[in-house]
Amino acid sequence: MDMKLNQSSPVLTGPPPLNNSRMGIHSILLPCSQSGASFSSGKKIPIPRKKPSKLDDVQSNGWLDAMKSSSPPRKKLLKDFTIGFASDDTDIAYSSWMVKYPSALNSFEQISNFAKNKKLAVFLDYDGTLSPIVDDPEHALMSDEMHSSVRNVAKYFPTAIVSGRSRDKVYELVGLAELYYAGSHGMDIMGPLHEVIVGHSNCINSTDQQNKEVNLFQPAREFVPMIDEVFRTLAEITKDIKGAKVENHKFCASVHYRSVDEKNWPTIAQHVHDILKNYPRLQLTHGRKVLEIRPVIDWNKGKSVEFLLESLGLNNSDDVLPIYIGDDRTDEDAFRVLRKGARGYGILVSSIPKETEAFYSLRDPSEVMQFLRSLVRWKEQNINSEEVAPIGVTVSQP
C-alpha cells in the first residue's frame, strides 16, 4: 500500500487501515475517512439557549440510557445482574463471570509461565485502575504504595500510562519521569518515537517537566482550537448546573455528571448534543459518569498501544508480551488490540460482571497493586535464572 504522509495536516490522506494485527507505523497513521464540514478556527458557534427546548434527541439516541448505566454503584449493578435472585447470589454471579475472565492474581502462574523468555511491556490506565474512582476528578490520587509499585514495575519493564486525561495532568498525578505517557485517550504521546515519525507534522519537539528534550506524537493536533472552543462553550452552558464539571484535555474534553442531580442529566446531555451538532468532526463517547467529546479520527487507546510497542521496538509478538490493565470502556480498544492474534493480555478492573475484550480481571486498584507487585517479585526471583531459559516449556496461548 502506497501511503502518503500529508505534512500540512495531521489527518493523513489514504485508504482506511488494513485489518492487520501487526501494524507498521505508516499504517498506524491512517485516518478513518473524514466526513462533514471542515473546521475553521475563526468560526463562531452560537452558544445554545440555557435550557434546551426539547430532550427528545438524547432520549431517542440512547444517550440517557448510556449515562444511567455508566459506572452505577456496585450494589445497583449487582442487583440488576442477579435480578430475581437472593442478594447472596451476587457473589455467585461474579464468580461465574470470573470463569470467563479469571482473576489475574489467581492466574499469575499461568501468566508468568507465558511471559517466560519474553519481554514484558506494561500499559496502565489511570482512573479506576491506579486510583480509586472518587467524586471529584481533582482528588483522584494514587496511594504511596501504588506509586512505589508502579515505580518498581518500571524498573524492570517498559511501562506506559494510557489515560483519557491530558498528558500534563496525568504526568502530574503519577509523577514518574521514567514512564511513557499517552494522554487524551492516546492522542498525545510522549515516548521514544520511531524515526519515521520524527519530522512528521504530527510529531513535535518539546521539553518535559525536567526540561529534557522530548518528541511528542499528537495525531489530533489540528483539533486543538476546536476542542478549546467546545470546552469554553460547554463550561459556559453548564456553569449553573450544580455538580457539573468540564475538563479540557487539549485533544478532547470531558463533561462530568457524577455529582449532578440525576434529574438534570437530560439537560446536560441535550446541551452536549446541541453543541456537537455544530461540530460534525467531533464525536461523543461515554466514560464513567462522564461524556467525552473527541475528534472523529481513527485513533484510540488501542492504536496508541500499537504505536508505543512499535516505537519501543517491541512489535514482534513472538518474544514480547504486552499487558494492559484498565477499567473503562475506552480501554476496550486496547484489550481488543491485544486479543487480536493472541498478542497479549488485557486485564479488566471491575468489581461487577461486565462484557469485555479483556482476558483476565482484577477487582479494584488494590488488586492491581498486588498484581504489579507480583510482577516485580517474579522478575526479581528470575533475574539470575532467566538468562538460562528452560527448554521445552509449553504454555497455553492467552
Ligand X SMILES: O=P(O)(O)OC[C@H]1O[C@H](O[C@H]2O[C@H](CO)[C@@H](O)[C@H](O)[C@H]2O)[C@H](O)[C@@H](O)[C@@H]1O
- Contact mark string toward ligand X, 267..296, x via CB under 6 A: --------------------xxxx-x----
Which listed residue (222, 247, 306, 332) binds ligand X by CB under 6 A? 247
- Name the grid cell of 378: 517474579
Is 191 within 8 Å of 212 (Cβ atoms)? Answer: no
Smallest separation (angstroms) from ligand X to the CB of 309: 19
Which listed residue (254, 304, 311, 350) binds ligand X by CB under 6 A? 254
Q: Which is nearer to ligand X, 47 or 133 (CB)?
A: 133
Task: Locate the DSSP E strands across the chain.
Answer: 119-124, 159-162, 180-183, 188-190, 203-207, 213-217, 245-248, 253-256, 282-287, 290-295, 320-326, 345-349, 360-362
Q: Which is nearer to ligand X, 137 or 219 (CB)?
A: 137
Q: Is 125 in the site for ligand X (CB under 6 A)?
A: yes
Smallest separation (angstroms) from ligand X to the CB of 169: 8
Which listed residue (94, 126, 307, 324) binds ligand X by CB under 6 A? 126
Neighbouring residues of 88: CB distance < 8 A, sequence distance ≥ 6: none
Q: Which is nearer to ligand X, 222 or 327 (CB)?
A: 327
Q: Which is nearer to ligand X, 105 or 133 (CB)?
A: 133
Cell 466526513 identifies what position? Answer: 35
Q: Cβ of 336: how many Cβ atoms within 10 Å?
A: 16
Smallest separation (angstroms) from ligand X to the CB of 135: 6
As a whole number of angstroms, the distance between CA 312 and CA 193 comes to: 8
Cell 461523543 identifies what position? Answer: 284
In this structure, the chain runs to a length of 398
- Residues numbered 176-205 forming contacts with ligand X, rule: CB under 6 A: none
Q: Which is nearer to ligand X, 142 or 309 (CB)?
A: 142
Total binding residues for ligand X by CB under 6 A? 23
Which listed residue (328, 332, 333, 367) binds ligand X by CB under 6 A? 328
Q: Cβ of 102: how many Cβ atoms within 10 Å?
A: 15
**Contact window for ligand X (CB under 6 A) among 32-40, 41-49, 120-128, 278-286:** 120-128
Q: Which is nearer to ligand X, 29 or 187 (CB)?
A: 187
Which listed residue (135, 172, 236, 380) binds ligand X by CB under 6 A? 135
3-state secondary structure 199-252: CCCCEEEEECCCCCEEEEECCCHHHHHHHHHHHHHHHHHCCCCCCCEEEECCCC
Which listed residue (5, 47, 133, 342) binds ligand X by CB under 6 A? 133
Closest C-alpha to 9, from 181, 220, 175: 220
Q: Which is nearer to ligand X, 43 or 68 (CB)?
A: 68
Outline where 49-143 has alpha helix (H). 56-60, 63-69, 74-81, 89-100, 108-115
